[in-house]
Structure formats: structure tokens, C-alpha cells
Structure 1
Amino acid sequence: MTVLPRRRVLCLSGSLRRVSANTAVLEAARVLAPPSLELVLHDGLAALPWFNPDDERDPLPAPVAALREAVGTCDALLIACPEYAHGVPGAFKNALDWLVGGLEFPGKPVALINASGRGSHHAQDALVEILRTMSATVLDDVSGTVPLPGVGCEPAWILGQPALREALSALLARLDRALAQA
């Protein structure tokens, strides 16, 4: 029997809300992930200090070092990010800014989940531009929309909706295939 290696996927939610549709979709993805993928949710974005290039020295602030280590030890990233004022939320952009100066991020495969059921695309478009500028390998064929109702959405509710389970499972299967071919 051949045992396939398990690939580690770091999940980043662009929302700091306690009850967030973006975090919920990533938590639901962890439940639905095929055995060959280990999805790990990073929950330290709220602890990051505001980006200041003067602070990019040894030692890095502990939350920054933890984020960079998590990125460095994963095989890919799965990002679900909301849209605020037609853009990427400031706290999430701050997290990305902290990754620019590290060696862990360039070339990293990244898949995106758009959890908005209202057709929001400005933040997704901006996020793709930012990620490509940071030398990520954006997996356009993997990324997709899992339309959620918004605030208050829980992982159990997502998992109880056949169409959402199917959309999320299909996205994860595409991610699994893309990483297996890499």
C-alpha cells in the first residue's frame, strides 16, 4: 500500500471578527479536506504589530516570527479574505506586509476562497495583484467562490448545506491535484 505524503496548507482568514464567514469557511474546509491535505488555521493575525520596516531585524516581534515560521513550514496557503470599502482589510494587508521581507513566501502556492455571495470581487482582484507582486504562485484554477450569507455564518451551517459542501470539496480537490503535480 502506497502512503501519499500529507501536504500542509496554512489557512489565513482576512477577517478578525470573532464570528466570521471567512474563518468559518476555512474551518469547514479543514473538516472536508482529503487525507492528503493537512489544513492548519493560523489565528495570530490580530497579534501582529503594525508593519514598520525598522522592526524587521533580529529578533522579529514574536507574532511576526510565528507567522513567517508558519508560512515557511507549509506547502501552500489557502486564504479567505473579506472585502471592506472595495479593498483588502487593513489588518490582513498588514500581515502580508510582514511577509514581504522574509524568504519564506516567494514562490509559495496560494489558493483563494471568495466567501461573498454578493459578487464582491474588488478585494479578490487587489489580493491577487498584491500576492503576485510578492512573488506568490497564485493558483487561479484552484481558487473559487463559496457564497456565504455573511456575518454569523458558522462552520456547522456550511457543512450542512450540500451545495456549499460540494463547492468547497471541489476547491479542495483542485488544490490537492495542483499540489500533487507541483
Structure 2
Amino acid sequence: MIQRPISLYALCGSQRQASTSRRLLEALQLACPEGITIAICDLIGDLPIFNPDNEGERTPAVVERFAAEIRKADGLIVSCPEYAHGIPGGFKNALDWLVSRDEVPFKPLMFAHASHRGDLVLAQLTDVLQTMSLHIVEDAFLRLPVAGKSDKAQAAMLLEARESGLLSASLNRFRRAIAAGA
């Protein structure tokens, strides 16, 4: 069975370059099975604070670029840490820019979670993203608890997850859901 190529766009809830959420997304990028590509968003930290007065004709160019990347993706991957029992402000701001747009409704989404905790942020994100009409593919959920570990331990865990097929298996489950019209 030939599968069409799919393009995924990964959104990181932490803006730190060395965040565990970003490292997990980078590991997924390296573990992509044939026919799957992942681009990691680098625009979230550049988005201005959401203001409904700046939508429509006044939408900032960076917001238009962000929305265009989401539009062209077959699915989204979200990896987001929990800050003070909630969604990091910059990430929530990015989501706010998308609420009244048409790029996200019914777009398939998978979570890639880099911590053994953080269930509060996962619940909050699920609520927000479902309110925005995204389709969360629960079968593709990935939790790899690298947060809080040393750089060396993180690298070892990410390599093991890649070599064992854990990461590619999650991506393949996501691909099947997308192909099925998730």
C-alpha cells in the first residue's frame, strides 16, 4: 500500500532553544518514517501580543506566515511544558492568534510530551484546542519523560526512543489517523 507523503508542523510551547519539549520535537524530526516530514515552528516568539483590533487587514505579517505554515501542514504536533500549572503565555498567545481564523478547524493534532508530569497543561491544552475545533489524535500521544534529566541522560533516552521505534511508531499512528480522515 502506497501512502501519500505527509507534512507535519511542530509547535513548541517553550521558546528556549534547549528546552526538553524542543529536543523531543527534534528527535521526532530525526525519527520520521519515509514519507513524513516535520518542520519545527520558529515564529511563536516573534508574534506580537494578540489584539483582535489587529486582525483582518491589520494582521501582522508574522502572524500571516505562522497561519500559512499551519494551513499547508497535514497535521500539527504540540510539545508544551507546564509553567505554573498552566500554558506558557507565549504559546497561549500564538493559539489566540488562530482562534478566529480558518487554518485550524478539524486539523489533526498529536501531543508529544517531554515530562512525567504536566497533566494540568495537557488538560488545559486539550480544552483550548478542542474549543478551536482541532482534532486531537489520542492514539498518537507520545510521552517521553526527558525533562529534569541531564543533557547526557536526555540524549541517551531520545536515542533509545528513536532506535527502539517508539518515536516512529507514534508518527505512524498519527499518519494512519490523518489518512483515515482524522
TM-score (norm 1): 0.90
CA drift at 1:36: 1.9
Q: Which has the higher helix share?
A: 2
The whole-number CA distance in structure 2 between the counterparts of 1:170 and 1:111 is 13
Equivalent runs, 1:47-126 vs 2, <5 Å: 47-117=46-116, 119-126=117-124
Tell me if structure 1 keeps the 8 A contact 2:12–2:79.
yes
Question: 2:147 matched to which residue of 1?
Answer: 149
CA distance in 2: counterparts of 1:163 and 1:46, whole angstroms: 28
3-state SS of paired residue (1:64)? helix
For 1:163 and 1:34, the matched residues in 2 are separated by 11
Give the root-mean-square deviation of aligned CA atoms: 2.1
Q: Distance in 2 between matches of 1:47 and 1:101?
A: 20
- Cα deviation digits, residues 52-82 of structure 1 (max 9, x gap): 0001021421110111000110110011000
Contact 1:28 1:156 in 2 (8 A): no
SS where residue 138 of structure 2 aligns?
A: coil
- Structure 2 unaligned regions, length at least 5: none
Q: In 2, distance between residues paired with 1:165 and 1:22?
A: 20
- Indicate if the aligned counterparts of 1:158 and 1:164 stay in contact, CA closer than 8 A: no
Structure 1 residue 124 displacement after superposition: 0.4
> Residue 138 of structure 1 aligns to which amino acid in structure 2?
I
Which residue of 1 is the match for residue 137 of structure 2?
A: 139
* Amino acid corresponding to residue 66 of structure 2 in structure 1: L
Q: Structure 1 regions of 5+ residues with no counterpart? A: none
Give aligned pairs, total. Answer: 180
Task: State the match for 1:21 in structure 2.
Answer: 20
Matched to 1:100, the amino acid is V
Residues 91-136 of structure 1: per-residue CA shift (max 9 Å, x gap): 000000001121111111111111102x220000100000000011
Counterpart selection for 1:127 from 125, 149, 152: 125
The percentage of counterpart residues that share the same residue type is: 36
